[in-house]
Structure 1
Amino acid sequence: MTRPNTTGRVMAKLRTAPVHLPAHLDVAQGAARAMNTLDDGGSIDHSVHCCVSGMRCSRVFGSAFGVNKAGERAQGFDDLEISMGLDRVVAVELSDKCAAEAVAQEMSADPGVEWAMPEPLAHAPLLAGADPSVSTPDRALVEAPHKRVQAAQALAIEPGQTSVRVAVIDTGVALDHPEFDGRIQGGLDTVDLGMGTLASGVELLGDSKGRDFCARDETGHGSHVAGIIGARGLSILPGLAGTCGLIPIRALAAARGAGGRVVGIGGTIDIDAAIKSATDMGARVLNLSLGTSEHDVPVGVPAVHSDSIAYAQKRGAVCVAAMGNSGRREVFYPAALPGVIAVGAMNASGYRARFSTIGAHVTLCAPGTDVISAGLQGYKPSTGTSHAAPFVSGTVALMLSLSDRLGGTLSTETITSILTSTATRGLSPADEIGAGCLNAGAALAATRDVLQKQGGGQNA
């Protein structure tokens, strides 16, 4: 039997790099063929074959060297990648999805395996979105959340630099939407969940099998998130990242869940590949409006996305993630990982939005109720911490842009300190809202002060 919220694949970290395996992304895009052995008929293969008749194997991560080299992504791992063991993390697709739990247990007992687990599913924590799209949204409703975070004041200080790029790791983006014209700089599709029904009973829809590079959105979730960050400002306000570039990374497929609703859903393997690829493509900020509850992660294995997030941080990328929408006190990854800026949702009255997940790791909040942004076509409102996180990601992109323009440096720790010290204090406890609500205008002003003290911007 497999766990209810898994893909039916197994993810594992071996103690020795399997040099014969291609990268997951090359297999997903048809540039390489998966192999049917992990250790050439050795004990690890035997542990798998105790439970299933066949498997298809690849490496979860490609190398930075091969990020743009189809068919060569398993070559040229550098010292950092090897020291972190990224070349040893494998994806195992099984002939029987329901055997994932048993296979992971057998593999875990092998001395050549550091850890193994059934691959958990991640969800885009979307609450609302059933409202129909409109061509001309109500201006007052559009402006309200942006006014609350002083977006205009932030953009007046720094309009954004095109060299600073934000990766929207999500369901993709509506590539033909006029709000994204001239904003998109590259993109990638890492989804390879197969077709039909997952082991969890979730029905996959549309493009879920790989074989393409196109990060085209099929749910509207990623487009809405991207609009908050990087919209041009035609019928809605400009995104908070101003003229910074967008890198859409489609890591979540469209799926029909309980009640027939279409949502974004993805495997840990696809998301980890997306996080590392986005970093290697030069993204300075990663927006992750998605996640997995701790309850869906087996005991005794690392928290999901630990390796990929740590890699992104070591390469200097700032990771921003949604807290989740359970409304309960729980750990939600990647928001709960060390160094990640975890964003909850606050209502207009200064309290935690009732759905926003509670936890001591919440950094700060942003507006997350009835936020109007881009849809697959036109514009629509949506609610959830998914739509709070991009307000923070956009602000971080402006902070980095200002740093580049003034010749300074900003670490993730400094950025987090500025965001929390300038946040507008709320009325809920700190473990519900963190430092309070994002104040982008104050954060940019404080960033300018920090950079001036560094000696990089006396005339700013």
Structure 2
Amino acid sequence: MPRVPRRLVLTLRLGELPDHLPSLREVRREGVAMATRIDGGPIDRLLSHHGGGARALRLHSARVTRLQRPGVPGARRFDDVEQLSGVARVLRVEVAHDEALPSLVKALAQVTQVEHVAPDWVCTTPFDARRAVSSPPLDPAAARRPRALMRLPQALALQRGDPSVVIGLVDTGVAKGHAELARRMRRGFDTVDLDAATLGDLTLVGDNASRDEDPDDEVGHGSACAGILRANGNGMPGGGAGLCGLTPVRVLGAALQGGRRVGVGALANIDAGMKRIIDLGVQVINMSFGTPESSLNADDPRPHTEVVRYAIARGVLLVAASGNSGAVERYYPAAHDDVIAVGAVDDTLRPCSFSTRGEHVDLCAPGLDIWTCGLQGYTCVSGTSFAAPFVAAACALLVAHAESRAWPLDPHTAREILVDSARPFDSTRDTEGCGAGVLDVHAALTLLDRRIDAALDS
């Protein structure tokens, strides 16, 4: 797996964060200089010895802003949830020389103040199983079929969604001018920060380093997910989340790989976008990307650990694609315990051959030949990337329905309802590691009603 040259991500232990380190937002938006020292002790000495010197910043900003607590340094504005989850203590470090970075990571891992450290690995997407078909004539019957399998029309008749319930789409951005997405998106932002012209066999193209707030899609992957979630319904079925809101975050830029355009983003870019959108108050996050455990070093921390802990502590429902390897293996973030991991089935309710399996997979949703938005027009896509948004849409409807009854819905309960209400696979053959069954949105809403009724009667 490629990594960002000269860059590593380091998490300090609780109580070890210095006050003087600026945040990434301060550096990018306010021109504050990165710190040239961290602890004045063993960490700095190792950075100098192995890396020829270094610059560092805090990856995340505090939830409490400077205006809310004027005169208080950013490192002191983090609350207990940010500190205990670890997001307050994550540093992005850039060294002068790249050659010794592997040995530097090993050395830093031995320092008492360091909780864990790893290179800033690069995640690539689209997480799709087959090349998408761009701008073909849309097949209305085929477009409606997967929605019908999940009883999505019946669910939307029961719960139309609520604009105050917002889904965060952490992906390659969205094609904001698309007729199906126009006026459907909330203001998003862009955290992509990649300067190297090449990353392994990837050649960066388009906007990958400019400091802007524009989540414009240059790949098409995020737009495809957005169409499943929130399309207007002009030429394709409307989005599964109904009237719920959608905020796009561009955490993956564009690159060429074997002549094909794919999404690419450093893990730190992704986590920075995740933390910020959580602080904006989204209730659901769709994550159609992943890093296979097999591509990590044995001592590397599992990707996105701190930000997943932070999201769950804030009550955010996390949905992730399980992967498209067709093997039994763990991709992150889907493999984290508190994330709803989604595999893919075809129109016959049988698991797709490409769907990654494992004990951590919770359920499946349609993921083969899904009609949705392309960068222009419509596209037919396949992969667990496009099964996950159906489950994220169901989560948003569950949150909206619970709020309509003045009932709190936590991530654990939402996951339990989706699993318990799933319809069986069409075949008992080859379903091991694919979860409890297939998403049934209407059954999930009715089960939520029964759970609330039972609680009120007890």
TM over 0.5: yes
How many residues in Structure 1 have an aligned counterpart in Structure 2?
448
CA RMSD of aligned residues (A): 2.1
SS, match of residue 166 in structure 1: strand
1:127 maps to a residue whose letter is A
CA distance in 2 between partners of 1:413 and 1:112 (Å): 33
The equivalent of 2:4 in structure 1 is 7
CA distance in 2 between partners of 1:85 and 1:140 (Å): 47
Shift of the 253–99 alpha-carbon distance from structure 1 to 2, 3 Å rule, reads farther
Q: Which moved more, 1:177-186 or 1:154-163?
A: 177-186
Aligned residue runs from structure 1 range 213-224, under 5 A: 213-224=213-224
CA distance in 1 between partners of 2:284 and 2:46 (Å): 40
Contact persistence 1:66–1:75 (CA under 8 A):
no
CA distance in 1 between partners of 2:96 and 2:366 (Å): 45
C-alpha deviation, 1:203, in angstroms: 1.4
C-alpha deviation, 1:273, in angstroms: 1.1
The equivalent of 2:36 in structure 1 is 36
Residue 409 of structure 1 pairs with residue 408 of structure 2: yes
SS, match of residue 254 in structure 1: strand
Q: Which moved more, 1:309-318 or 1:271-280?
A: 271-280
The equivalent of 2:393 in structure 1 is 394
The equivalent of 1:438 in structure 2 is 439
CA distance in 2 between partners of 1:73 and 1:271 (Å): 21
Contact persistence 1:361–1:431 (CA under 8 A):
no
CA distance in 1 between partners of 2:66 and 2:357 (Å): 37
C-alpha deviation, 1:294, in angstroms: 0.6
Contact persistence 2:22–2:34 (CA under 8 A):
yes
Shift of the 117–142 alpha-carbon distance from structure 1 to 2, 3 Å rule, reads same
Contact persistence 2:167–2:247 (CA under 8 A):
yes
Residue 193 of structure 1 pairs with residue 191 of structure 2: no
2:335 maps to a residue whose letter is A
C-alpha deviation, 1:169, in angstroms: 0.4
The equivalent of 1:208 in structure 2 is 208
> Of the candidates 129, 135, 142, which is equivalent to residue 133 of structure 1?
135
Aligned residue runs from structure 1 range 108-147, under 5 A: 108-124=109-125, 125-134=127-136, 137-147=138-148
Contact persistence 2:132–2:379 (CA under 8 A):
no
The equivalent of 1:343 in structure 2 is 342
C-alpha deviation, 1:429, in angstroms: 4.7
Contact persistence 1:173–1:215 (CA under 8 A):
yes
C-alpha deviation, 1:75, in angstroms: 5.8
1:5 maps to a residue whose letter is P
CA distance in 1 between partners of 2:74 and 2:251 (Å): 18
SS, match of residue 372 in structure 2: strand
CA distance in 1 between partners of 2:406 and 2:324 (Å): 39
The equivalent of 1:237 in structure 2 is 237
1:215 maps to a residue whose letter is P
Contact persistence 1:28–1:190 (CA under 8 A):
no
Query: What do the CA deviations read for 1:317-362 (whole angstroms, capped 9, x no partner)?
Result: 0000000111111110000001110000011222211111111100
CA distance in 2 between partners of 1:288 and 1:374 (Å): 17
Q: Which moved more, 1:52-61 or 1:160-169?
A: 52-61
SS, match of residue 327 in structure 2: coil
CA distance in 1 between partners of 2:377 and 2:33 (Å): 40
1:353 maps to a residue whose letter is C
CA distance in 1 between partners of 2:379 and 2:66 (Å): 35
Shift of the 172–99 alpha-carbon distance from structure 1 to 2, 3 Å rule, reads farther
Shift of the 130–394 alpha-carbon distance from structure 1 to 2, 3 Å rule, reads closer
C-alpha deviation, 1:450, in angstroms: 2.1
Contact persistence 1:66–1:74 (CA under 8 A):
no
CA distance in 1 between partners of 2:77 and 2:296 (Å): 31
SS, match of residue 433 in structure 2: helix
Contact persistence 2:51–2:101 (CA under 8 A):
no
CA distance in 1 between partners of 2:130 and 2:76 (Å): 43
Contact persistence 2:165–2:245 (CA under 8 A):
yes
CA distance in 2 between partners of 1:431 and 1:332 (Å): 17
CA distance in 2 between partners of 1:98 and 1:150 (Å): 55
1:368 maps to a residue whose letter is G
SS, match of residue 403 in structure 1: helix
C-alpha deviation, 1:398, in angstroms: 0.3
Shift of the 361–68 alpha-carbon distance from structure 1 to 2, 3 Å rule, reads farther
C-alpha deviation, 1:235, in angstroms: 0.9
Query: What do the CA deviations read for 1:237-259 (whole angstroms, capped 9, x no partner)?
Result: 111100100010111111112x2
CA distance in 2 between partners of 1:102 and 1:425 (Å): 50
SS, match of residue 320 in structure 2: strand
CA distance in 2 between partners of 1:364 and 1:165 (Å): 22
Shift of the 317–7 alpha-carbon distance from structure 1 to 2, 3 Å rule, reads same
Percent identical pairs in the alignment equals 37
CA distance in 2 between partners of 1:448 and 1:127 (Å): 36
Residue 65 of structure 1 pairs with residue 64 of structure 2: yes
Unaligned ranges ≥5, structure 2:
none
1:137 maps to a residue whose letter is L
CA distance in 2 between partners of 1:66 and 1:305 (Å): 23
The equivalent of 2:46 in structure 1 is 47
Shift of the 431–188 alpha-carbon distance from structure 1 to 2, 3 Å rule, reads farther
Query: What do the CA deviations read for 1:40-77 (whole angstroms, capped 9, x no partner)?
Result: 4x3211111222224331112211113999x9865611
SS, match of residue 179 in structure 1: coil
Contact persistence 2:163–2:243 (CA under 8 A):
yes
C-alpha deviation, 1:451, in angstroms: 2.5
SS, match of residue 372 in structure 1: strand
2:239 maps to a residue whose letter is G
CA distance in 2 between partners of 1:453 and 1:184 (Å): 37
SS, match of residue 87 in structure 1: helix
CA distance in 2 between partners of 1:65 and 1:170 (Å): 25
Query: What do the CA deviations read for 1:203-256 (whole angstroms, capped 9, x no partner)?
Result: 111111141111111100001001101111111111110010001011111111
CA distance in 2 between partners of 1:268 and 1:274 (Å): 10
1:206 maps to a residue whose letter is G
Aligned residue runs from structure 1 range 255-294, under 5 A: 255-257=255-257, 259-294=258-293
Query: What do the CA deviations read for 1:129-159 (whole angstroms, capped 9, x no partner)?
Result: 442224x512112111111111101100100
Contact persistence 1:423–1:436 (CA under 8 A):
yes
Q: Which moved more, 1:332-341 or 1:109-118?
A: 109-118
Residue 318 of structure 1 pairs with residue 320 of structure 2: no
Query: What do the CA deviations read for 1:107-131 (whole angstroms, capped 9, x no partner)?
Result: 1122332221112222221233442
Shift of the 395–30 alpha-carbon distance from structure 1 to 2, 3 Å rule, reads same
Shift of the 112–163 alpha-carbon distance from structure 1 to 2, 3 Å rule, reads same
CA distance in 1 between partners of 2:169 and 2:275 (Å): 13
Aligned residue runs from structure 1 range 89-168, under 5 A: 89-124=90-125, 125-134=127-136, 137-168=138-169
